[in-house]
Amino acid sequence: MKKLNFTLTALAITLMAAAPLAIHAQDTTAEPGDGLRIATGKKGKGYSKLFADLRTVCGNQVAITEVETEGGLQNLTTLAANQAELGFVQLDTLQDMKGSDENIGSLLALMPLNANLLHIVARPDGFSYPGPKRIWPLQPETITVSVDKFSDLKNLPVAVVGSARALGRVLDRRFAMNMRVVDVDTDEQALAKLKSGEVAGMLSTSGWPSGPIQRLKRDSNAKLLPFDLAVQPPYQLMKKNYENLDTFNHSFLAAPNLLVTRPFSNAGANGKAVAVLQACIQKNLRTLQEGKFEPAWAEVKSTSETYGWPRFSAAGKK
């Protein structure tokens, strides 16, 4: 099987052009004087949880305010439009969007973070759809197909959420899946379509554990599907567990995350504040890893790793 080689830029631009209102962040909390605005994602998901941890540990040193968005792709457009000073983003999205806007290309990596996982959810009882017009009495009115892995979604309708809107379409094109991609705003809406039988699966990206996935119960009539196609860097297959769904040693498609910043001058107020935040995270990384915070912090092995992306450096530091 051919290796997976994503190209998100053209697709992302197409998505933004098709839905121009969706690229503006829903900043309902930031006000002048609130300090650094950090673009995150949906409440209850990975980026928003990481922000909450940063505010708990570093909020007394530097004021930070959350800017809720749809996720990493929208975080980049939010940063480019000066609607936030920092934002969370997947490395692959950042790499492929850098040529679409010079403001995105000039962003700097403040910190490496955990990996985002592609959560693929389906119904245990498969997917049913109307069969061809009956030409003999015993011909079934509906056809039911098993959906046990990602490749089984070929030719079927799939709901996509947030950053998975772009990734789902890239996967669809790369592997000739011929999926009917259905855009939705939230994981809850996607799960509702899955429950009603409107779609055969849903795709959602998040760090582990994903809040909406973790809230599912064993009787929710939902299961996680393994990603069963070949990948190449910066992607990898990562094993994780969801005990609430009796899912263990499960293969997820994973991509590294970065916390990025606009390229502020070290002499300016924003640049100084960004430097304070960077120093605070570095100083308190052990606290974040060992305290009552998100398990995602344990994935951070080196605070200087940026996967080749230009790094923000405070004055006097390299």
The stretch 120-134 carries a mean pLDDT of 87
* Structural domain spans, the chain: 9-116+256-299, 118-253
pLDDT for the residue 254: 94
Structure token digits, residue 40: 């995150």
Q: Which of 8-22, 155-169, 199-213 has the lowest mean pLDDT?
A: 8-22
> SS3 for 180?
strand
Quick check: do 9-116+256-299 and 118-253 share a fold?
A: yes
Alpha carbon separation from 74 to 19, 29, 67, 260, 271 (Å, rounded)? 12, 17, 11, 13, 23
Query: Is the pLDDT assigned to residue 27 strictly greater than 60?
Result: no
**Tens-place pLDDT, residues 92-118:** 889 888 999 999 999 999 999 999 999
Peptide linkage before 209 cis (omega within 30 of 0)? yes
CATH class of 118-253: alpha beta
Per-residue confidence (pLDDT) for residue 134, from 0 to 100? 64
Write out the E strands in 75-107.
Answer: 86-90
Determine the distance from the C-alpha atom of residue 295 to the mean position of all C-alpha atoms in its chain, rounded to a whole number: 16
Q: Residues near 41 by Cβ (< 8 Å), separated by ≥ 6? A: 47, 48, 68, 69, 70, 71, 72, 75, 88, 162
Check whether 262 has a pLDDT greater than 60.
yes
pLDDT of residue 169: 87
Mean pLDDT of 44-63: 94
Rounded-to-integer distance, Cα 172 and Cα 299, Å: 29
pLDDT attached to residue 317: 55
Smallest CA-to-CA distance from 62 within 95, 38, 94 is with: 38
The predicted pLDDT at position 164 comes to 86
Question: So what's the pLDDT on residue 93?
Answer: 86
**Average pLDDT of every residue of the chain:** 87
Taking the C-alpha atoms of 236, 96, 297 and 260 in order, what is their torsion angle to the nearest 10 degrees? 170
Task: Point out which residues pair with 265 in neighbouring strands.
Answer: none
Element (DSSP H or E) covering residue 47: helix 46-58
Average pLDDT over residues 293-315: 90
pLDDT-based confidence at residue 20 (cuts at 50, 70, 90)? very low
* Domain 9-116+256-299, CATH: 3.40.190.10
Query: Distance between CA atoms of 76 and 296, rounded to whole angstroms?
Result: 21
Tell me the pLDDT tens digit for each residue of 185-239: 899 999 999 999 999 999 999 889 888 999 999 999 999 999 999 898 888 999 9
Copy the structure tokens of residue 84. 């936030």
| pLDDT at site 130 | 81
Lowest-confidence range among 1-15, 35-49, 57-71, 270-284? 1-15
